[in-house]
Amino acid sequence: MMALSLSTRATLDFLGPEDLTRKLRMQTAVAPAVSALLVNSPLLEGRPCGLLSHRGWAWLRTDPLRTGLLPPALRADVSAGDLVDWALGIPLIHYRTADGRYHRAPGGTFADLLRDGLPDGTGPTAAHWSAHLSQLWTDTRVRRTLEPRGADGPPAPHLAALPALWTGLTYHPESCRAAWESTRHHTAEEHRAARTELPARGPDTRLGDTPVRALAAELLRLARAGLEARVAAGLEPPHVPAHLDPLDEIAATGRTSAHQCLTRWHGDLRADPARYVAAHRI
């Protein structure tokens, strides 16, 4: 899955405990809408796979303990301590020793490792904890930064669209707050149901009783307002809000990058993988 499809990620800062809470809960709450808007992996091994996002489908079949929804992050008061408690309850996959070799971690959670130690009798270190956090692939991965990672990658000319969306929503306090307030009522069960639906339905997915396409349009409006405020404050160059234009078109028409890819596949690319690679080579 990681070799056959593409994601575009953003890395965003938080300034302290309260800022972490505000940004993380919003990013988690809006993640299904962003992922549904960006579906773009409809081909698998040289032919259409019947989905708009094979990547999204594949993640549904990856360890559910460490992928998808970050459960504590939907809480209004989520804290770094909540994230630590959650991560302690998940097993470490592998670790590296001083000789540079990787080893499969023993069974049990990371909390068990703290209590029982590693097979050589030593206890886990800060480096083991850092490696453990790198082995968690939730919609937003929290380490020293916030890393939203749930969306497929758009076509190369539009790569800046997703970082622009996350920047406008995350770094403008009013847009961040409004995005959270518009999505905070959705439950973890509704998030998981939307994740199951979106590989095939894209922006026609529903998050609970909310049509995702309409929600995505509202998030884009808030993101544009956030970017324009940052331009006015001298924090972004004037052209940055225009990076959202391709996403506005998707929200308006429902025609995603995956749909556009399939049209070209059956059109000028003539269902030829070599033509596809040549057309998208960077």
Domain spans, the chain? 17-81+145-280, 91-135
Asked if 156 and 280 touch (Cβ cutoff 8 Å), the reply is yes
- 8 A C-beta contact, residue 153 and residue 56: no
Across the chain, mean pLDDT equals 96
The second-level CATH assignment, the architecture, of 17-81+145-280 is 2-Layer Sandwich (3.30)
pLDDT of residue 5: 80
Q: Is residue 242's pLDDT more than 80?
A: yes
CA-CA distance, 47 to 227, in Å (whole number)? 38
Per-residue model confidence as pLDDT tens digits over 40-57: 999 999 999 999 999 999
CA–CA separation, 208 vs 194, rounded Å?
8
- Summarize pLDDT for 133-171 with one digit per residue, the tens: 999 999 999 999 999 999 999 999 999 999 999 999 999
User: Would you place residue 58 in the very low, low, confident or very high pLDDT band (cuts 50, 70, 90)?
Assistant: very high
In the predicted model, is pLDDT for residue 1 greater than 80?
no
Q: What is the separation, in whole angstroms, between the first and last Cα of the chain? A: 21
Residues belonging to the chain? 282
From residue 202, alpha-carbon distances to 2, 13, 32, 77, 116 in Å are 20, 29, 10, 30, 45
Measured distance CA(187)–CA(194) in Å, rounded: 11
Output the pLDDT for position 126. 95
CA separation for the pair 262, 269 (Å, rounded): 10
Summarised one tens digit per residue, pLDDT across range 193-222 is 999 999 999 999 999 999 999 999 999 999
| One-letter identity of residue 160 | A
SS3 32: helix
Which class for 204: exposed (0-12), middle (13-18), buried (19 or more C-beta within 10 A)? middle
